[in-house]
Structure formats: C-alpha cells, structure tokens
Chain A
C-alpha cells in the first residue's frame, strides 16, 4: 500500500447481502484494488468512528471488489450493519500472513468451519476450486448454531453440496447444534462430523484448515490430532484485539507473535504450548 501510514483508501459499499439475522456480506469497491490472498485481513474504517479487522470471504482472484462477511457483535460491527449500499468507508490492507496455498498442492485438504469463521475459509475454497486439479481430495465440514445461522448457502447453488459420496468437486457435510423441524441434516457440534464415520483417516501429509470461535478450534484441534493430522499441518486463524494492524501497537500479541503480522494464519505447531492460546 502506498497510502501514508495509517490512512485507509476510500471504498464504496456496492452490495449488501443479508446471510442470517446477525450476519451480512458487504461487497466493497475500493478506489484502488486491494489484492489480498486467502487468510489475509483488512482493516475496515468507519470515518471518525472506528476501525476493525476482517478477513475477506470473496475469491482472491477478483481484485476490483472484495466481499467481507460480518457478524454484528460490537460497536463497529453494529455501525457497519446500519450502513447502506452506496455508503463510503475506508480500507487498509491487506495485512498478515495468508494460507500457504502453494504448499497445499497435490495434497488432501480438510476445511473445518464454525459459524462466521467460514469467511476466510470460503475465500480459500474459491481459490482451491478454481484450480481443482492441483489438489487431491477437498473435504468441507461446517457447523453452525442453528440452521438459520448457516452462512453461504451458495454451496448448494455452486453444486458443492454433495454429502460425501464422491461426486462433484468437494465432499461437504453440514451440521447444526440445535434441532429444528425445518432442518433435516445432521445435528450435533462440529466435532461430531469429524468422526471416522464422517471423515476418512488422513494421509501423513494431510492438511487441515480450521477457522471458527476459539472454543471450536480448541476442541476441533484435539479431534484432528486424534484423527492423525500433524500439528504442522493444522492451520488455524487466530484473533485478538487489533489497532494498527502492522505489528507496532502491541495489542494483538499472542506469545512471541503478533497476530497481525505473524498471523492470523498459524499452524498448531507454532502456537501450541501457549497457555493463553484459546483465551476468548
């Protein structure tokens, strides 16, 4: 970015998609393209109000716009949710370390998503599907609290929703925590669809990419290790309060890393042993 340090580029909200009662996807068109790689984040700036970090959920191959899926959770996100198509905000970025997608080539990849954490995973998936023949099996296991809070129903529209019988480009299974008469799919927390019944044993170099609330990543990591994934092949996306986004303000420190510059993507190998790892 050749903007003066700390100053965002203006961007217009081109489209707002309501995904669930709490989650909207904003498609932004920045004044200049902000090319990012899956896993990196941007800081969205509400002029005079505040700023917060988000990971785009759109394909990295599309550079003139970016889609960001945002749950209303606090002050800045509540203000964002009040905005309308045509409104202007600012973007700083991209920042951070992306998923090392070149290292995934030729391997089996498992994508495990929880709730709104599917944002960066969708961006990665779109990249993988785009060059599908460069990867072996691509498996998706996604869990949400209720059937209404499942994000990105475009899985069905894109022909991804297969159910694990080997057809189509991906093997997708969804689950929700809570039963509901309108839902006839699997019910149970995400770890219930990572069992041998739902997931084959990984090869030695099997890659797992997981993103979701800390509690979900904590239990998910335990299960993945049990199932045979190696710590250096389990990719997590960590979060802490951020301010500058470039490793100077001290807010996002996690052990010996700053999440904004050394992450947000980390392998479990890199962050294990930190007693504060899963603090919320």
Chain B
C-alpha cells in the first residue's frame, strides 16, 4: 500500500509517531559526508536524518553485536528481554544483508534465540538512496539503491512529495497508526519514484562499469576461476590482516564462541566477532592450519562470499556497500579485486 503526507503534515511528524514506545536508531550527520547511527528515545527533528546513503556502521551490529554475552554455564536463564526498537534510514545493502544473517542464524541446524529476538523486536524503516558514496557498487552484485523487500516501511523522498510503502503487516499497522497524517498516494507519485530510481540506477551502474564491473558480471565464475592466479599473493603483500574488512562488512557473520570467567569467577560464554583473515582463525590443535599464507586467507574470504553462498543460497554474500574499501588500511578496493579475478579467470 502506498501513502503520502496529508497537506500540512511533515515527514518528521510521521517518524515521531512511528517511533513511539520504541528505542530509536537513526542516522545523524558526521564528518566528511559520513552518517552514523545514533540511539535516542524518539525521532529528533533537525538532528536525525534518513541520510542519502548507508551509514558507517553495518546494520548487522544491531542484530549480531560485536560482543554478545551468552551467560554463565551454571545459570542458564536467558538474559533480560530486548526492548522494542525501530531503525530509520536503512538502505538496501544493509536490508539485503539481513538475508544472509537470517539464513545462518534462523534457518540452519538451530535457531539462535538472541538473533531471533532481535529480529522480532526491531522495526525496519528503510529509505531509497538519493545518492551514493564513491565506493558503492551494489548493481555489480545484483542489487539496487532502493529496497524491494525485507523492510517494514520504505520511504522515498521526491521533489513532488514523499512516498511511504508498507512491506509487512507490522509496517502496515504502524502506518495506520499514523493514519491522520497520511493519505493514499497518487499513481503519479509512485511513477515519479520509479523514474527517480531508474535514473539513479543508471548513474550507479555506469560508475560500476567504469570500474570494469558492469551489472551481471560473472563474479562467481571469476572468483572460482582465479583460484590459482598470482593476484592473491599480490594483494597479500599489502594486506595487513587487520580484519577491518571482516568487521565492517554488512554480510560477514563469523564469530568465536569464547570461554572465560566472569567477575564472580564463574565459567561464562561470549560470542565475539571473528575474522577469517587472522592466521589463528582456522588453527587446529598443535598449531596446524589449512591456510598458513595470508594470500590463501584473502582468497578464502572471496571464495566464501562469491562461491560458497551462491552454491548454498543462490546469492552473493556481498551487497556492494563498499565499507571494506573505506576501512582497508592498505587501500585494497574490492572492485579492483573482483575485476582482477575476472581477468584472471577470463570471464566478463
């Protein structure tokens, strides 16, 4: 269902209404064109913004925290319930990344109750990207700079008005609760949003093509075909295995089930983000490892994202957000890696 603002009503009023009774996570402007996710009690006019593109932190951090206390061994009660939350300004790359997390944490051998609770308690209000960062490349991995699915409510701003769309029954209910601020949208507005999206896609797709990564590029064949190529050793010379790419990546989900003693001297378990680039990641008893060389670990990460996930889930575990490129201390750009792989594998 498509809605727009009633005359005299502002978008801020709607967002304030949607946020009632929930902890709010919404972008605020940072430095150098960055946007950061900020937590507050409500939508703050003049401070919060839906942001033109994705914020610095990956959305996964709200569902899969960097450090998550599981509990004490001998006291197995679950921790206290998570409050209801709402996230504003989510962009498609992050929304799509939750598909990977749902697959891993909800649809495998066992359901992770902590992740399931976070998903149940969180309303996602996404918005179209109105521009993109110079590292963005989502068309190259089959995505686009606006959400098609996975949101509760999506917001598209145009010079002719704001379009609000529900994507779930929860989203529909929430929009109805703001019913006196909204009215059904005209087809012309829906059309305007469609045109705006197409224009933005063209611009972004051209940027991707200029870097050698047109939409539809055979990235799986590229990564699989480049297995024996010297490119991995070349990149490994610059990579310092800091793990930044693993941590900021919106789809990287690896963690360590860590053991220690809590402050009472009792055995406790914690989940911690882990990085496959670290040389201890795959270490076995006595110090062996199947990937002793950094080049192998670098290649392995691409293999997981561009070969494993297509085989297991039919999609890449990469949403083209470019955070890895921004975070990399060695200035490795994922688009260069993919382009080099395509050349090495002789695919287009």
Chain A residues near B (Cβ < 8 Å): 3-8, 10, 45-52, 73-77, 90, 95, 239-241, 243-244, 246-251, 253, 255-256, 261, 275-276, 279-280
Contacts and interface: CB of A to CB of B under 8 A. Distances in A.
Contacts of A5: 70, 110-113
Given A244-B257, A256-B308, A74 B274 contact: no
In the A-B complex, the 3 residue pairs with the closest CB atoms: A74-B285, A47-B267, A250-B254
Interface residues of B, number: 46
Nearest to A49: B259
Given A51-B257, A248-B255, 18 more contacts: A4-B113, A5-B112, A6-B70, A7-B269, A47-B267, A50-B259, A76-B285, A95-B109, A240-B282, A241-B281, A244-B257, A248-B109, A251-B274, A251-B281, A256-B307, A256-B312, A276-B291, A280-B284
Interface stretch (B3-11, B18-26, B71-79): B71-79
Given A48-B267, A248-B112, A3 B76 contact: yes
B311 interface: yes
Contacts of A10: 74
Interface in B252-308: 253-257, 259-261, 266-269, 271, 274, 276, 281-291, 304, 307-308
A76 B283 CA distance: 13
20 contacts: A4-B76, A5-B110, A6-B271, A7-B269, A47-B259, A48-B73, A48-B261, A73-B286, A240-B282, A241-B283, A244-B255, A248-B105, A248-B108, A249-B256, A250-B254, A250-B255, A253-B304, A256-B312, A275-B227, A279-B290
Interface of B: 70-71, 73-74, 76, 78, 104-105, 108-113, 227, 253-257, 259-261, 266-269, 271, 274, 276, 281-291, 304, 307-308, 311-312
B311 A246 contact: no
B266 to A, nearest CB: 8
Nearest to B282: A241
Contacts of B288: 280
Contacts of B282: 240-241, 251
A248 B312 CA distance: 13
A41 B287 CA distance: 21
